[in-house]
Amino acid sequence: MRLDDRLVLITGASSGIGAATARAMADAQARLLLTGRNRAALDAVAAETGGRAIAADLPAGATALASEAGPVDVLVANAGAGWAGAFATMPERTIDDLLAVDLAAPMRLTRLLLPGMVARGRGHLVFVASIAGVVGVPGEAVYSAAKAGLIAFAEALRAETAVGVSVVLPGVVDTPFFDRRGAPYERSRPVPVPAARVARAIVGAVERERAEVYVPGWLEAPARLRGAAPGVFRRLAALLGGV
């Protein structure tokens, strides 16, 4: 799909990967609808990229957002939340919150926007998942489960509709995500990649109709190993302290 003059809706656009994607889409001459919870930050990104800011709290505000957005050509479902710690100590309310933002919100927004894409005979859905959804990450059990669900959801959609569907699977990205989840990233490896690198992968996924994109690319190797030889993967992951 050519992105020039296409209407692109980006969720979680006020910072991190979402803000970087807004800049990359603007460079590709797309028209932008940007949504997020932080109105001041969202307005700043909109002013920088020439986009239109629509503050929304997802998934509760999905219907109102879709109605105000109108006929969207590309959805980048990027908004996400995390929580770090042992699952046994995780507050029950936090389980519901993560599943709502990371899984239910993209599903509901897709259900609202997809029929219009199908009727117009064009459109593209991009789901920003995570390597955690493929391999599972200790201390992030619910986040991993939500992203795994998002990956399966995308795979099912890809098989039942002619609309383009892409999943982008980043590893560790240098964004405020880790501070917001309550635990900073303190490992020496893997080294966090810039959000702009993920944004370029998102743009490329749409332009080239790519089904899956790992960022960085080497993450595809442990993902494939996890599927082909799970026992070997678990032993290596234990030795290396996880992916």
What phi and psi values does residue 100 have, to the nearest 5 degrees? -65, -50
Per-residue pLDDT tens, the chain, 243 aa: give them: 899 999 999 999 999 999 999 999 999 999 999 999 999 999 999 999 999 999 999 999 999 999 999 999 999 999 999 999 999 999 999 999 999 999 999 999 999 999 999 999 999 999 999 999 999 999 999 999 999 999 999 999 999 999 999 999 999 998 878 777 777 777 767 788 999 999 999 999 999 999 999 999 989 998 888 888 888 878 777 766 655
**Active-site hit among 143, 177, 214, 233:** 143
3-state secondary structure of 148: helix
In sequence order, what are the residues at sequence separation of 6 or more whose Cβ sits closer than 8 angstroms to the Cβ of residue 236? 222, 225
Whole-number pLDDT of residue 242:
56
Tokens at 221, concatenated? 């190797």
- Answer for the pair 114, 158: CB distance below 8 angstroms, yes or no: no
Q: For residues 41 and 47, what is the distance between their CA atoms, to the nearest angstrom?
A: 10
Whole-number pLDDT of residue 36:
95
* Domain spans of the chain, in order of start: 7-240
Whole-number pLDDT of residue 95:
97
Count Cα atoms within 13 angstroms, Cβ side, for 21.
Answer: 36
185 is catalytic: no
Whole-number pLDDT of residue 206:
98
Q: In terms of C-beta density within 10 A (0-12 exposed, 13-18 middle, 19 or more buried), how is residue 228 classed?
A: exposed
Q: Report the CATH number of the 7-240 domain.
A: 3.40.50.720
Task: State the pTM of this model.
Answer: 0.92
